[in-house]
Amino acid sequence: MSDGDTSLNVSYTAFLGTRMVATGLLRHVMLNVKDSLDENERLQLLIFDDRTGKQIDVDIRGMAEDEWDQSGGQTGSLPDTVLNDELPRRAGRPKLGVVSGEVTLLPRHWEWLKSQPGGASVTLRKLIDEARRAGAEQNKARASQEAAYHFMTAMAGNFPQYEEALRLLYAGDNDRFFHSIREWAPDIRNYIQKLTVDAFSER
Protein backbone atom coordinates (compact mmCIF):
# COMPACT_ATOMS: atom_id res chain seq x y z
CA MET A 1 0.00 0.00 0.00
CA SER A 2 1.36 3.45 -0.84
CA ASP A 3 2.21 6.09 1.75
CA GLY A 4 2.57 3.36 4.37
CA ASP A 5 -1.03 3.86 5.46
CA THR A 6 -2.31 0.86 7.41
CA SER A 7 -5.09 2.56 9.33
CA LEU A 8 -8.10 0.33 9.84
CA ASN A 9 -10.42 3.32 10.29
CA VAL A 10 -9.94 4.84 6.83
CA SER A 11 -12.60 4.38 4.17
CA TYR A 12 -11.70 3.29 0.65
CA THR A 13 -13.57 2.91 -2.62
CA ALA A 14 -12.80 0.41 -5.41
CA PHE A 15 -13.51 0.98 -9.10
CA LEU A 16 -13.47 -1.47 -11.96
CA GLY A 17 -13.38 0.76 -15.00
CA THR A 18 -16.01 3.41 -14.38
CA ARG A 19 -18.06 1.18 -12.08
CA MET A 20 -17.80 1.41 -8.30
CA VAL A 21 -17.62 -2.15 -6.95
CA ALA A 22 -17.01 -1.73 -3.21
CA THR A 23 -16.60 0.92 -0.55
CA GLY A 24 -15.82 0.93 3.16
CA LEU A 25 -12.92 -0.11 5.36
CA LEU A 26 -10.02 -1.57 3.41
CA ARG A 27 -10.53 -5.11 4.71
CA HIS A 28 -14.21 -4.95 3.71
CA VAL A 29 -13.35 -3.67 0.24
CA MET A 30 -10.67 -6.30 -0.35
CA LEU A 31 -12.79 -9.22 0.81
CA ASN A 32 -15.70 -8.04 -1.35
CA VAL A 33 -13.69 -7.82 -4.55
CA LYS A 34 -11.19 -10.64 -4.01
CA ASP A 35 -13.49 -13.55 -4.78
CA SER A 36 -15.83 -11.77 -7.20
CA LEU A 37 -13.30 -10.73 -9.84
CA ASP A 38 -11.31 -12.84 -12.26
CA GLU A 39 -7.56 -12.36 -12.75
CA ASN A 40 -7.88 -9.85 -15.60
CA GLU A 41 -10.41 -7.78 -13.72
CA ARG A 42 -8.22 -7.63 -10.63
CA LEU A 43 -5.45 -6.13 -12.74
CA GLN A 44 -7.86 -3.36 -13.77
CA LEU A 45 -9.10 -2.69 -10.25
CA LEU A 46 -8.29 0.73 -8.79
CA ILE A 47 -8.74 1.57 -5.11
CA PHE A 48 -8.90 5.11 -3.76
CA ASP A 49 -8.46 6.60 -0.32
CA ASP A 50 -11.70 8.45 0.46
CA ARG A 51 -9.85 11.13 2.44
CA THR A 52 -7.33 12.11 -0.22
CA GLY A 53 -8.76 10.81 -3.50
CA LYS A 54 -5.39 9.17 -4.15
CA GLN A 55 -5.04 5.71 -5.61
CA ILE A 56 -3.45 3.13 -3.32
CA ASP A 57 -1.37 0.18 -4.46
CA VAL A 58 -2.55 -3.17 -3.08
CA ASP A 59 -1.91 -6.64 -4.44
CA ILE A 60 -4.86 -8.87 -3.56
CA ARG A 61 -3.89 -11.89 -5.64
CA GLY A 62 -3.61 -14.97 -3.49
CA MET A 63 -4.29 -13.20 -0.21
CA ALA A 64 -6.21 -15.19 2.34
CA GLU A 65 -8.93 -13.72 4.52
CA ASP A 66 -6.99 -14.31 7.72
CA GLU A 67 -4.18 -12.14 6.40
CA TRP A 68 -6.58 -9.20 6.44
CA ASP A 69 -7.65 -10.09 9.96
CA GLN A 70 -4.06 -9.60 11.04
CA SER A 71 -3.48 -6.34 9.19
CA GLY A 72 -3.25 -3.03 10.94
CA GLY A 73 -0.84 -0.38 12.18
CA GLN A 74 1.83 -1.02 14.72
CA THR A 75 1.16 0.15 18.21
CA GLY A 76 3.67 1.56 20.60
CA SER A 77 3.78 2.52 24.22
CA LEU A 78 2.62 5.98 25.15
CA PRO A 79 5.26 8.41 26.40
CA ASP A 80 5.70 8.61 30.13
CA THR A 81 3.37 11.09 31.79
CA VAL A 82 5.07 14.26 32.93
CA LEU A 83 4.53 14.92 36.61
CA ASN A 84 2.77 18.17 37.45
CA ASP A 85 5.67 19.47 39.50
CA GLU A 86 7.96 19.04 36.47
CA LEU A 87 5.89 21.43 34.38
CA PRO A 88 7.07 25.04 34.27
CA ARG A 89 4.76 27.38 36.09
CA ARG A 90 3.27 30.07 33.88
CA ALA A 91 1.57 33.33 34.60
CA GLY A 92 -2.18 33.73 34.19
CA ARG A 93 -4.99 31.61 35.55
CA PRO A 94 -3.83 28.05 34.85
CA LYS A 95 -6.84 26.42 36.51
CA LEU A 96 -9.01 28.08 33.87
CA GLY A 97 -6.56 27.32 31.08
CA VAL A 98 -5.67 31.00 30.77
CA VAL A 99 -2.05 31.91 30.06
CA SER A 100 -0.78 35.45 29.93
CA GLY A 101 1.38 36.76 27.12
CA GLU A 102 2.55 39.95 25.52
CA VAL A 103 0.63 41.70 22.75
CA THR A 104 1.98 44.81 21.04
CA LEU A 105 -0.62 47.11 19.49
CA LEU A 106 -0.91 50.71 18.47
CA PRO A 107 -2.90 53.08 20.76
CA ARG A 108 -5.88 53.11 18.40
CA HIS A 109 -6.03 49.32 18.57
CA TRP A 110 -6.04 49.34 22.37
CA GLU A 111 -8.72 52.02 22.42
CA TRP A 112 -10.95 49.97 20.14
CA LEU A 113 -10.40 46.77 22.11
CA LYS A 114 -11.16 48.42 25.43
CA SER A 115 -14.39 49.84 24.03
CA GLN A 116 -15.71 46.39 23.11
CA PRO A 117 -18.10 44.48 25.38
CA GLY A 118 -16.04 42.36 27.76
CA GLY A 119 -12.88 44.37 27.26
CA ALA A 120 -9.66 43.68 25.38
CA SER A 121 -9.03 40.09 26.51
CA VAL A 122 -12.51 38.82 25.69
CA THR A 123 -12.51 40.57 22.32
CA LEU A 124 -9.08 39.21 21.37
CA ARG A 125 -10.12 35.67 22.24
CA LYS A 126 -13.27 36.01 20.11
CA LEU A 127 -11.29 37.38 17.17
CA ILE A 128 -8.77 34.55 17.40
CA ASP A 129 -11.47 31.89 17.61
CA GLU A 130 -13.21 33.36 14.56
CA ALA A 131 -9.94 33.39 12.61
CA ARG A 132 -9.25 29.79 13.59
CA ARG A 133 -12.69 28.69 12.44
CA ALA A 134 -12.28 30.51 9.14
CA GLY A 135 -8.85 28.92 8.66
CA ALA A 136 -10.22 25.47 9.43
CA GLU A 137 -12.97 25.91 6.82
CA GLN A 138 -10.44 27.03 4.23
CA ASN A 139 -8.26 24.01 4.98
CA LYS A 140 -11.24 21.66 4.64
CA ALA A 141 -12.17 23.22 1.30
CA ARG A 142 -8.59 22.95 0.03
CA ALA A 143 -8.29 19.31 1.12
CA SER A 144 -11.62 18.49 -0.55
CA GLN A 145 -10.54 20.15 -3.79
CA GLU A 146 -7.23 18.28 -3.75
CA ALA A 147 -8.98 14.94 -3.16
CA ALA A 148 -11.26 15.54 -6.13
CA TYR A 149 -8.29 16.62 -8.25
CA HIS A 150 -6.35 13.42 -7.50
CA PHE A 151 -9.31 11.19 -8.31
CA MET A 152 -10.28 13.10 -11.44
CA THR A 153 -6.72 12.99 -12.72
CA ALA A 154 -6.59 9.21 -12.27
CA MET A 155 -10.08 8.38 -13.55
CA ALA A 156 -11.38 11.17 -15.75
CA GLY A 157 -8.39 12.62 -17.57
CA ASN A 158 -9.84 11.63 -20.94
CA PHE A 159 -13.41 12.60 -20.13
CA PRO A 160 -15.10 15.54 -21.91
CA GLN A 161 -14.84 18.87 -20.07
CA TYR A 162 -12.09 17.48 -17.81
CA GLU A 163 -9.88 20.57 -17.88
CA GLU A 164 -12.86 22.90 -17.59
CA ALA A 165 -14.14 20.92 -14.62
CA LEU A 166 -10.79 21.28 -12.85
CA ARG A 167 -10.81 25.01 -13.47
CA LEU A 168 -14.32 25.33 -12.05
CA LEU A 169 -13.38 23.15 -9.07
CA TYR A 170 -10.59 25.49 -8.03
CA ALA A 171 -12.69 28.53 -8.88
CA GLY A 172 -15.24 27.31 -6.35
CA ASP A 173 -18.07 27.43 -8.91
CA ASN A 174 -20.35 24.68 -7.57
CA ASP A 175 -23.20 24.80 -10.11
CA ARG A 176 -21.04 25.06 -13.22
CA PHE A 177 -18.65 22.40 -11.94
CA PHE A 178 -21.36 19.76 -11.57
CA HIS A 179 -22.92 20.87 -14.84
CA SER A 180 -19.58 20.27 -16.58
CA ILE A 181 -19.40 16.64 -15.37
CA ARG A 182 -23.07 15.79 -15.89
CA GLU A 183 -22.26 13.46 -18.82
CA TRP A 184 -19.66 11.48 -16.91
CA ALA A 185 -20.28 7.91 -15.73
CA PRO A 186 -22.74 7.95 -12.80
CA ASP A 187 -20.44 6.19 -10.31
CA ILE A 188 -17.57 8.52 -11.17
CA ARG A 189 -19.83 11.55 -10.82
CA ASN A 190 -21.27 10.35 -7.51
CA TYR A 191 -17.84 9.70 -6.03
CA ILE A 192 -16.65 13.15 -7.06
CA GLN A 193 -19.70 14.60 -5.32
CA LYS A 194 -18.66 12.72 -2.19
CA LEU A 195 -15.09 14.00 -2.38
CA THR A 196 -16.17 17.60 -2.97
CA VAL A 197 -18.57 17.79 -0.03
CA ASP A 198 -16.39 20.53 1.56
CA ALA A 199 -14.91 21.97 -1.64
CA PHE A 200 -17.41 24.72 -2.27
CA SER A 201 -18.10 27.41 0.29
CA GLU A 202 -21.67 28.54 0.68
CA ARG A 203 -22.37 31.75 -1.16
Could you state, in order of their start, the residue ranges of all structural domains in the chain? 2-65, 105-195
Bridge pairing between strands 11-16 and 98-99: unpaired
Give yes or no for residue 15 having a pLDDT over 80.
yes
Region 119-135: what's the mean pLDDT? Answer: 77
In the chain, % helix, strand, coil (3-state, to 5) comes to 50, 10, 40
Region 38-53: what's the mean pLDDT? Answer: 85
Whether the CB-CB separation of 29 and 23 falls below 8 Å is answered with yes
- Is this prediction's pTM over 0.75? no
C-alpha 77/C-alpha 26 separation (Å) is 25
Give yes or no for residue 161 having a pLDDT over 90.
yes
Residue 161: burial class (beta carbons within 10 Å; 0-12, 13-18, 19+): middle
Predicted confidence band of residue 81 (pLDDT cuts 50, 70, 90) = very low
